Structure 1
């Protein structure tokens, strides 16, 4: 059920009261009595409709949990409002909450996010939805909340779509549609043209698939604005190549283009908000398949940068396609260069599915991102580019190997591999995202998820502002 956010409360609108466990005693007599009768706890995400004398709803109670001192938990309090989706009865409602319920715009965003369902393949999708309107509060920026929700939904939809409907060609179509919406300049390099244009590793990884590999490229914004370039890993399915994954490890490999999905969501935010930047988006879109033309363990690949790369494992293909795309991005010396990729299981072991690590040697950018991450409740955590580990990527016959032999610090060594293809960018950051929500929460069901893009957007917004 989708909640429609309104800019003012309607006549006869009923209140949604945000309640902590300690605040139950402050409710009116009838609400307090009903809450006790129904054993309403006030815990985060708990919900209760309060009926009037005729049984019709007259108010609703939303639990936001106890007051939090921990910064991460406190920042996430507004997301309790996502629990309203699918529970509020039809009609007009308005939020009554104090500062303890968090930022009003995040509350509005949570109500949008909580209503998300991936229904493309459901026959009964969209039927019998209640008409629910909510006024989130005077200080809620509804335009911003809707922009953020649209960006998250784009990323979720792309990740959730199976590869039979979202291979490299369809990912190109999705990127082209977004570019056309905002009048961006769009181009693509496909198949053997990648070799002619010097993108040998993108070609090598994707050549075994029936769906040709390609490099998607679009730009938007005034030509003399600061250059911000986004690179997203677009591996639309990863079998592991000749180092084939076990079947259980392939079940979620439709999400291996989660970096590209997140980059497209972030690009939507940047263009919709008209940030004053020259945006460029690069997506190497491939399928890591198995056929007679698949690249092999032990092969040595030439890269766009000129480095030779020995293939220690064909299942470490994402960093190969990113390396060629990063080299291209770096050639025009962008102000900020960001890449996003569902790159390593090691990142999930280190930080779990909800908190992507990021890597950057730019202390100012890193500090701004860490602060924004908490402020907008979009968790990220910086891990170090520990240079001594780079030695573990050495090769006896090539300039570098694509994997280490010891299995340690996999996310860090992947970041170090990528760092070797960036020289000119004034600031570079790598995000190793999971792109998936393994457990349902008030702001989303199990499935594809946007990660880090709201935090990155907040930093870019603060740094560059909007076009006047």
Structure 2
């Protein structure tokens, strides 16, 4: 079980979650000392407000946390978790109006995440008693896989190149007796992955396609693909300094796919899992691919390069073509693909695209149920012509300022034909500021809902 979880029933300091409307009744039930102490500190149970109350000896006895009242406004299920980063080390138990106990506890664990590779570790974090009826192993699975994804995104690109992304997949594979293989450097050309090779060939750190396979052959085939651009300079269409500052996170799609694969394997879901990670660095050198170049893809479609900074869709296209060849039951890809997605929906709400209305409905439902938000956007057929090229089968960009996330999804959609159900997630992979369950820095988006979807569709072995 997660090191910050304690068995249900363990003696601990109670954390009372209380809405403003319920505070007077709770307050009146307190002894005079804690009641006066709460009043002296101005506690009114405003959402997010907290106070610690002592016992007669001065020791910490009770914690109060204000939460949104039940009603039409949706309360953040992770809200109780905000205290994990605030309270002193100790053992705590959630009480009162905590909402969904599993999500409240998960919020606690996700808030407790720290990235300390490059600095001295802080003191031990506050521990939480597992709420009654919550599966501690399931909770640990979700939290630990999310932490792995965050670690990968937060790591400096100097320490996380294509080879290190491969090493992360291999380490995960070893933990679950999975088969892992890779195709590296010029071998990508011999194996017919020309666009992965083209994007990564300018870097001294060789591009590669990493593949993990796990599960029994007869089980439903589920394939996950993650964009693994370890760092994106923009190539010859060089980014500005501001645009390049967070480009260590351009492998956030790979991190999400790796996390989802880890959740699925640890839970032993009844699937034949395939994880594909095209891992490259989009660098600048004399061997960089150029605007105006025409690349031949694995699928055979030719692609005119309108912008070398639209490289993620190129490496994904080759990986999607490979995945589609075996016609999986479910094919999902994750990519920090477009700034247009952030303009449309912001950093917290990744768009997803699919032709499958039934799949879309389940993704939307599970997204809300597990508090892993996404929002469906349209694969709008009239925009498909925006990718036309005068010299090739297609261009890698539309050449205009509109519908950038939609046209990127339409580009990828051309490389999928045989898969029974396919969805593309245009994630951000980063929290610009700290909120309950979502500390500032690298984020693992769409992985928990993927796990919930696979568990619902296929069950456990």
Q: TM-score range by the shorter chain?
A: over 0.9
Of 103-112 and 211-220, the range deviating more from structure 2: 103-112
1:67 maps to which residue? 70
Alignment partner for residue 365 of structure 1, among 359, 366, 373? 359
Structure 1 spans left out of the alignment, 5+ residues: none
1:3–1:115 contact (8 Å) kept in structure 2: no
May I ask how many residue pairs the two structures share in their alignment? 456
Measured in 1, the distance between the counterparts of 2:175 and 2:236 equals 39
Could you tell me which residue of structure 2 aligns to residue 196 of structure 1? 190
| Farther off after superposition, 330-339 or 101-110 | 101-110
**CA distance, structure 1, for counterparts of residue 40 and residue 392 of structure 2:** 72
List per-residue Cα deviations over 1:109-153 (Å, max 9, x = no partner): 11111111111000x214x336x4322421222111111101110
Q: Helix, strand or coil for the counterpart of 2:170?
A: helix
1:175 pairs with 2:178: no
SS at match of 2:435: coil
Q: Select between 283-292 and 22-31 the one with higher mean Cα deviation.
A: 22-31
CA distance in 2, matches of 1:90, 1:307: 58
Q: Is the 8 A contact 1:343 1:432 kept in 2?
A: yes
Q: In the TM superposition, what whole-angstrom CA distance separates every residue of 1:196-241 from its partner, at most 9, and x where no partner exists?
A: 0000000000000000000000100111100000010001110100
* Aligned partners of 1:9 and 1:134 also within 8 Å: no
- Which residue of 1 is the match for residue 52 of structure 2? 49
Residue 121 of structure 2 is matched in structure 1 by 125
Equivalent-residue separation in structure 1 for 2:22 and 2:84 (angstroms):
23
Q: Shift of the alpha carbon at 1:3?
A: 7.3
**1:9-51 CA deviation, whole Å, 9 max, x = no partner?**
234x332111111111122233443322211232333221110
TM-score by length of 1: 0.95
Supply the distance in 2 between the matched residues of 1:250 and 1:375 (Cα, whole angstroms): 35
User: For the residues of structure 2 that align with 1:238 and 1:15, how far apart are their CA atoms?
Assistant: 47
- How does 1:224-263 map onto structure 2 within 5 Å? 224-263=218-257
Q: Deviations over 1:89-117 (max 9, x none)?
A: 4443322224xx22111111111111111
Using the alignment, how far apart are the partners of 1:261 and 1:35 within structure 2? Answer: 43
The CA RMSD over aligned residues, in Å, is: 1.4
Change (3 A) 1:26 1:173: same
Q: Does 1:456 align with 2:437?
A: no
What SS does structure 2 have at the residue aligned with 1:29?
coil
Partner SS, residue 222 of structure 2: strand
1:79 correspondence with 2:82: no
- Name the structure 1 match of 2:309: 315
Contact 2:89/2:124, CA 8 A, preserved across alignment: no
Written as runs of structure 1 = structure 2, the 5 A alignment for 1:374-393 is 374-393=368-387
1:351 aligns with 2:350: no
Which residue of the partner structure matches residue 102 of structure 1?
99
SS in 2 for 1:355: coil
Which residue of the partner structure matches residue 13 of structure 2?
A: 14
Q: TM-score, normalised by structure 2?
A: 0.96
1:88 deviation in Å? 3.0
Question: Contact between 1:219 and 1:278, CA under 8 Å: does it hold in 2?
Answer: yes
Aligned residue runs from structure 1 range 318-333, under 5 A? 318-333=312-327
In 2, the alpha carbon distance for the partners of 1:93 and 1:341 equals: 37
Q: Distance in 2 between matches of 1:405 and 1:133?
A: 52
Distance in structure 2 (CA, Å) of the matches to 1:371 and 1:309: 36
For 2:282 and 2:351, how far apart are their aligned partners in 1? Answer: 24
For 2:303, what is the secondary structure of its paired residue?
strand
Deviations for 1:323-347, whole angstroms, at most 9, x for unmatched residues?
A: 0000000000000000000000000
Residues 254 and 89 of structure 1: CA distance in aligned 2, closer, same or farther (over 3 Å)? closer
Structure 2 residue corresponding to 1:425, chosen from 419, 436, 444: 419
Larger deviation: 80-89 or 156-165?
80-89
Query: How far did residue 376 of structure 1 move?
Result: 1.2
